[in-house]
Structure 1
């Protein structure tokens, strides 16, 4: 299948503006994400010396942390440079025991161990560059011994910073903010890169513990099944017109279930309808995914259809319509994911709707309505009950 030649640039622009979401990664570290982003921006010539700029920005954050949490850092520094212990004395004749506490200055092996722990918090590259940054501020750069002593002091300071519990979230928030700012600033430039290079940035966006928005990428070509096997025979799949992708005859083959056929039929009859898109269920740059929580784990739901219409004034609008199976255990969590998506993207789609057949009636939940979103967010009922309730309308 190739891009439909009848689809206008305005429709494709609308398609490419639709936000998809990534599945969060457990244990993702904002600093690692920032430095990876800086590397790619420098490689593509979008931000020269991006790596140095990323490190400099985080050095400022760590300076601010030292000032903000000064008292805690001083206390923790003392624990880094001092080794506390207890000596046991035992008399084998009278079998008496005594304990003597001792406090000694820690050697560099102990301090280095604390520094390595801190480096896991701030990332090793940033921890090492910050140590160099601090040392060069106080050392006589013409005296190698002075620089080594200053580096030891800097590593001790960083080790202490790593032990202050409030510093970790303070640092992560700042690193995440910087990465997001650059991703937004260079968003348009990134979209002009090749698909392979865009994929590199897409992977960087995914390096987050929270769902991240990514733009859809216009599909260039797509292999689609045109036949299905029925026993020993093959049967051609039904074909449909007005899809964003099509064959040389303007047709798109698709195996649709009964619900999907009903929804497609109704939507194509609506005023202003021009094109539709069968959202791929496999992860790709051209598949719109929406994050949802189920049993504490993030998953991705991929709504079935996106419809494109043109209003009387020539504006292109998109409608997200998902035939929603109510029989599945994650039906309500998926609805809540769609609700959150609708709430955070109120101007992207004209309509965001979930459709289901309940008791032989076609019902629809309009997820752009605040009362509907609130009811879904707080429900203790089943998905079927939501579609049967007064917050749903008849689908026509």
Structure 2
């Protein structure tokens, strides 16, 4: 793959391959057992990239998988534009996939069967009952249905059908007639293994449950998509105050233009600060689904374009395009024409700033630049709006923006919705129809750190915080090579890549010396360079003339030695075997003998483990050595290092906590929908009970921080009030639950058997003499099943970093009394560790070692 998969994408790819191969094996043993594998992943998760990785590995193999001979893929969608976009993205993402064939894109198609190794794209319109390829004629020998059936007959489970946006195609039409998708996968020769991809899989799952297919689901956790930064955090919905006789269409278009220009300004400022190219945000105007030659519709488009041009200084008409199904230029009169552009081409056409759309972009469209939507749909059409918002939540830079949180949201202006009916759109998200990962916000509150917080920010930025591994870790030697490349390219460590190679070669020299000293090296060389041959001599009539015997020590030929070397290369990963072979040959070694030595080492399990451990050690040293320099890099570069750390097998210290710019808090759309945004803001300003002083980031109006109340935050409020009464308190920080601004403590989740993340609720900062010392105060209930695991995480963290803090206090409430554990105290930690090892409950530990808070 040219693209580097994120941890959750790699996990999903591996799981999909495993489930597909299981389904193939079941069918191969019993052709009555049809399989269905469903990939469920929210919009923005990178479903196409995941699927591309799967297809590439099935056809060509990888370091960890063997290729599956005769693999054929038929990729089906209901939209030719989506097919073209997906095919292009697939070729951009893969370094091996090249044989892609589009069916029904104007070209003829007449084949007895699909060819192995190829990926065919078919849109359902091309397979409709009126389409040419569905009927035999003098010019059409085989229908598409013949081709599909013949391919199943010839290649069985190696013929895979992938249906993108599968929730649209698997349900029956009104009246019970089959859809094109159903006819493909459940026709006269049912597809052995069907793969469905969907952001909203409920309908797909229900439909498959009624079919005679063994279904397996691979689910990408929505929180992992959020954490990745690939999608925006929040969606701000802006409906009309009320719906009267006048719908303020063009007024809302003007507001949307202003918001787009605000995004443009903020992106430009961010790009200048980070030293990268600015994002050119686009505005999407969703129009009613009416014919383009309808006079009222054309007048609406004319008024919308007028409003946009009036509000957008310097915008020219050529920067406005439409995606209407008619595909023809739209003449608005007065020598103004809006040109058509295919949806898949808009993202890269950065001169395009406004997109007029009906339905063409509600499914599968990929344009992360589109950050503002104004919908002129009627208020009864909730689902199309939710679906379109689901398309525009992607982050333009594919990462969360830490220094300007306003760039982590999208805006939707809905002039034909009032504040009550907009809740129906929210309901679509709650039901998963939009496939969105983002929080729906009514409005956002911005906070900045005043000048007097400069010393506190410096302390906060340097608090020890961890990157927690994803489920799919990468080989350590691969991570070392990637880290060396980053450090060298960023000018932080000259010749890092060659140093990494020399380091690994030296470690392999050590491993070879140790095996040689024990006499094992030659035995292992002999084992990998020779074969055992079984002989049984018989006569022509089948009589045994000479009994069975085994001939050992038969030397492999050059080709087979190369095969063994390739096996070792797969074991040692990322060119380590090849580099060591070159090292041995460079010392006047024989190329064949060098391959045998490398194979002997690479196929010895403990040698590979030792090399991985050595690579991990150097990675840890280099991250520690360059932590400060990495923390000063632009966000995009820090993001690369962060992702590399997340691929480790163990948690690792990250370079620092981001403290620049503004932070935001979203006010939920569900709060009192009958009041205006301004009255809501004033009510929040008057909410004295929930506005707190001394937060690191403060409202510019009064220097306060509004902490949203909830039914379960009683202990938090009590703790916060107690901390504010401490005369040494300089400031406090509401630690977020993720992102570069959060202080993260790792712990091993024994129930899930994986690393997890703990985010202490509060970080407080105290004046102790001339110093500013931080403290952790973390109020939590202890009733959850992972409480003991989290306590172990605190013990490990404090063992390493207690000296960085004034105190570390997990706080809970037992029998109405608040108590804390002094985790910064070594003696207390020892007692807690012993109690946890003995299986003592968390409540008993708090009772035995807790101090009154």
With structure 2 as the length reference, what TM-score do the two structures score? 0.43
What CA deviation, in whole Å up to 9, does each residue of 1:147-180 have, x standing for no partner? Answer: xxx3322222110111223312321222122222
In the alignment, is residue 265 of structure 1 matched against residue 691 of structure 2? no
Residue 369 (structure 1) shift: 2.4
Cross-structure match for 2:139: none
Residue 59 (structure 1) shift: 1.1
Residue 208 (structure 1) shift: 1.6
Structure 1 pair 2/115, CA: closer, same or farther in 2 (3 Å)? farther
What CA deviation, in whole Å up to 9, does each residue of 1:183-224 have, x standing for no partner? Answer: 222222212211221121122222321111112221422221
Cross-structure match for 1:288: 743
Could you tell me how far apart the structure 2 residues matched to 1:263 and 1:78 are? 69
Moved more, 316-325 or 188-197: 188-197
Contact map agreement 1:226 1:254 (CA 8 A) in 2: no
Structure 1 pair 203/371, CA: closer, same or farther in 2 (3 Å)? same
What CA deviation, in whole Å up to 9, does each residue of 1:24-54 have, x standing for no partner? Answer: 2454322111100011011111122221121
Could you tell me how far apart the structure 2 residues matched to 1:251 and 1:274 are? 14
The 5 A counterparts of 1:14-163 are 14-25=459-470, 26-70=472-516, 71-90=519-538, 92=541, 94=543, 98-103=547-552, 104-138=554-588, 150-163=590-603
- Out of 152, 160, 179, the residue aligned to residue 619 of structure 2 is 179
Contact map agreement 1:72 1:164 (CA 8 A) in 2: no
In the alignment, is residue 229 of structure 1 matched against residue 670 of structure 2? yes
Could you tell me how far apart the structure 2 residues matched to 1:240 and 1:357 are? 22
Contact map agreement 2:477 2:574 (CA 8 A) in 1: no
- Out of 731, 735, 750, the residue aligned to residue 279 of structure 1 is 735
Could you tell me how far apart the structure 2 residues matched to 1:114 and 1:94 are? 37
- Bigger relative contact order, structure 1 or 2 (CA pairs below 8 A, ≥6 apart): 1
Moved more, 195-204 or 297-306: 195-204
What CA deviation, in whole Å up to 9, does each residue of 1:286-325 have, x standing for no partner? Answer: 11111111223211111111001111x2101000011121
Could you tell me how far apart the structure 2 residues matched to 1:10 and 1:243 are? 14
Could you tell me how far apart the structure 2 residues matched to 1:229 and 1:207 are? 38
Residue 363 (structure 1) shift: 1.1
Could you tell me how far apart the structure 2 residues matched to 1:171 and 1:321 are? 41
Could you tell me how far apart the structure 1 residues matched to 2:570 and 2:708 are? 50
Secondary structure at the counterpart of residue 183 of structure 1: helix
Structure 1 pair 13/96, CA: closer, same or farther in 2 (3 Å)? same
Moved more, 234-243 or 150-159: 234-243
- Structure 2: which 5+ residue stretches go unaligned? 1-445
Moved over 4 A (4+): 90-97, 230-235
Could you tell me how far apart the structure 1 residues matched to 2:630 and 2:845 are? 41
Secondary structure at the counterpart of residue 666 of structure 2: coil
Could you tell me how far apart the structure 1 residues matched to 2:658 and 2:501 are? 31
Structure 1 pair 272/93, CA: closer, same or farther in 2 (3 Å)? closer
Contact map agreement 2:449 2:662 (CA 8 A) in 1: no
Moved more, 43-52 or 164-173: 164-173
Structure showing greater radius of gyration is: 2
Residue 228 (structure 1) shift: 6.4
What CA deviation, in whole Å up to 9, does each residue of 1:1-31 have, x standing for no partner? Answer: 3431144332122111111112224543221
In the alignment, is residue 300 of structure 1 matched against residue 761 of structure 2? no
Structure 1 pair 373/158, CA: closer, same or farther in 2 (3 Å)? same
What CA deviation, in whole Å up to 9, does each residue of 1:220-264 have, x standing for no partner? Answer: 222212466346556637322221222212222222411110111
Contact map agreement 1:324 1:331 (CA 8 A) in 2: no
The 5 A counterparts of 1:317-336 are 317-336=773-792
Cross-structure match for 1:145: none
